Amino acid sequence: MMINIAERNNVTILGKGEQVLLFGHGFGCDQSLWHSLTTYLKDAYKIILFDYVGAGKSDILAYDSIKYNSLDGYAQDVIDVIEAFDLKNIIFIGHSISSMIGMLAAIKKPQYFSKLIMIGPSPCYLNDGSYTGGFSRSEIEELLETMEMNFEGWASYMAPMAMDQSKDSYLTKTLERTFVSTNPSIARQFAEVTFFSDYRHQLGELQIPTLLLQCANDSIVPIEVGDYLNEHITDSELVILNTRGHYPHLSDPNLTAEIILQYLKRG
């Protein structure tokens, strides 16, 4: 049976340029959260947006708990979108866990990618010996339990923390609405896959030039993680953004776009 990737992943195409920018959203999010950033980029680039299965306006009936029990399933979705639309020479822009999803896709099919841009990336969210991931195992288990017991309560707690703004701010409310719009059981599984993932051992396999954008005060990913990634990815560049929270494309899209454009114009 032929799968309609455009419908399954709710693919949206914008922009006027030849060069393709393919955007992958983070956990609990969907493509709508890229709007502020793409406003600065769509005049010069071809923008491809999509929702992972289970997020946004994707086809929730296509969700397979076995396929999506690791990031490899999500990486295959990225590859599916690329192949369905015959995209070439892609610059993949991934937020948070999508940075690792993009990395896995680029390791599997490097011929499709020219650059990766990772916004708030982390290869491992758990503290492990001298490695500072930001969370203990018990903290993650507590978060997952809260999602099961009171999904809306989890969203109202997580949104202001992740945005690093008051619970009443417009951006926090926007993020909270996006969290709540996700199917709770799918969000719970994606959270477990995200926060218990560890891709440190695969960083050395990535051969695509990579820009790392790390917020100076990221409430989810400690500053040490940016340094770790920059040290372990062969062809990488780290830029520290003078911003707070985990969503610079929402809280400071102008600065985020400026840094991305500078990087892309250098060729």
Residue with tokens 């492990």: 128
- 246 catalytic? Reply is yes
Residue 104 CB neighbour total at 10 angstroms: 21
What is each CA distance from 164 to 21, 124, 157, 172, in whole angstroms? 28, 21, 11, 8
Using CA atoms, how far apart are residues 9 and 56, in angstroms rounded to an integer?
Answer: 9
Using CA atoms, how far apart are residues 160 and 54, in angstroms rounded to an integer?
Answer: 23
Catalytic residue among 51, 77, 218, 252: 218
Q: Say if residue 166 is exposed, middle or buried (CB neighbours under 10 Å; 0-12, 13-18, 19+).
A: exposed
Three-class secondary structure of residue 85 per DSSP: coil
Catalytic residue among 36, 58, 96, 197: 96
Using CA atoms, how far apart are residues 115 and 138, in angstroms rounded to an integer?
Answer: 36
Catalytic residue among 25, 95, 246, 249: 246
Using CA atoms, how far apart are residues 225 and 120, in angstroms rounded to an integer?
Answer: 9
- 218 catalytic? Reply is yes
Using CA atoms, how far apart are residues 47 and 37, in angstroms rounded to an integer?
Answer: 11
Residue positions annotated with a catalytic role: 96, 218, 246
